[in-house]
């Protein structure tokens, strides 16, 4: 997208109404679009999300060692996770990109989506206060945080699949939503995972797009013979 997007629906998805919508617009503006872009907001948001997640983990896992907490935080704030959150908000359709990035599919790129999520966090902080921003971050990460286990620091299936493919210089997987069933409060997602190195597409089912994608990635790892279960 190159013009000014309609931000009302996005704000509803984010669960936050900006007092100054120009801040959200700036957070969605990639450096390829012009000199006025989201790089400074990204810097601010990155610091905030690291602080909020670190504080949560410190209070939640009282017996954890520093190394364990660091690994859990890294798992939460890594680019892949932030990009997943961006896709859940369908940020790609709101991003303001230069013509080159637009043509090359920048609205789908993990790094651009992750940077936009951090920029929005920074924008919310400037538009409100730290406590409001903290509440928003924890709400966005809630499902992921609830599923964390201090004993389980293994990388998730999507990350394992991506690293396996990258180590062999294979193209990355393409995830697509096949269908969504049920009411808004109790939806079931069906997702496909297509690999050029496989002659078939694997699928996954879950209560969110993220969970369904993880299931599809796990099936792909099994089909590749990387994992037996």
Which positions are annotated as active-site residues? Answer: 46, 118
Q: Establish how many alpha carbons lie within 13 A of residue 84's alpha carbon, considering only the half-sphere containing its beta carbon.
A: 22
Enter the tokens of residue 181: 């069933």
Residue-wise DSSP of the chain: --S----HHHHHHHT---SSHHHHHHHTB-GGG-SS-SHHHHHHHHHHHHHHHHHHHHHH-TT--HHHHHHHHHHHHSHHHHHHHHHHTTGGGT-B--HHHHHTTGGG-HHHHHHHHHHHHHHHHHHS-HHHHHHHHHHHHHHHHHT-BTTB-PPPHHHHHHHHHHHTTPPPPEEEEEEEES-TTS-EEEEEEE-TTSSSEEEEEESSHHHHHHHHHHHHHHHTTS---
CB 21 within 8 A of CB 7: yes
């Amino acid at each position: 997208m190159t013009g000014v997007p309609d931000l009302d629906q996005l704000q509803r998805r984010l669960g936050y109404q900006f007092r100054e919508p120009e801040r959200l617009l700036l957070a969605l503006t990639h450096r390829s679009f012009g000199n006025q872009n989201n790089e400074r907001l990204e810097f601010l948001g990155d610091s905030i999300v690291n602080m909020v997640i670190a504080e949560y983990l410190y209070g939640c896992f009282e017996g954890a060692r520093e190394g364990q907490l660091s690994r859990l935080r890294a798992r939460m704030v890594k680019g892949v996770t932030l990009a997943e959150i961006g896709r859940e908000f369908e940020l790609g359709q709101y991003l303001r990109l230069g013509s080159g990035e637009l043509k090359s599919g920048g609205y789908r790129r993990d790094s651009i989506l992750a940077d936009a999520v951090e920029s929005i966090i920074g924008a919310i902080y400037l538009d409100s206060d730290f406590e409001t921003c903290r509440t928003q971050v924890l709400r966005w990460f809630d499902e992921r945080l609830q599923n964390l286990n201090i004993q389980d620091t293994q990388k998730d299936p999507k990350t394992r699949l991506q690293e396996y493919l990258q180590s062999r210089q294979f193209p990355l997987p393409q995830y697509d939503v096949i269908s969504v069933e049920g009411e808004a409060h109790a939806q079931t997602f069906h997702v496909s995972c297509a690999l050029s190195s496989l002659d078939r597409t694997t699928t996954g089912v879950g209560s969110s797009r993220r969970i369904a994608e993880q299931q599809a990635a796990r099936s792909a790892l099994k089909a590749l013979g990387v994992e037996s279960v």
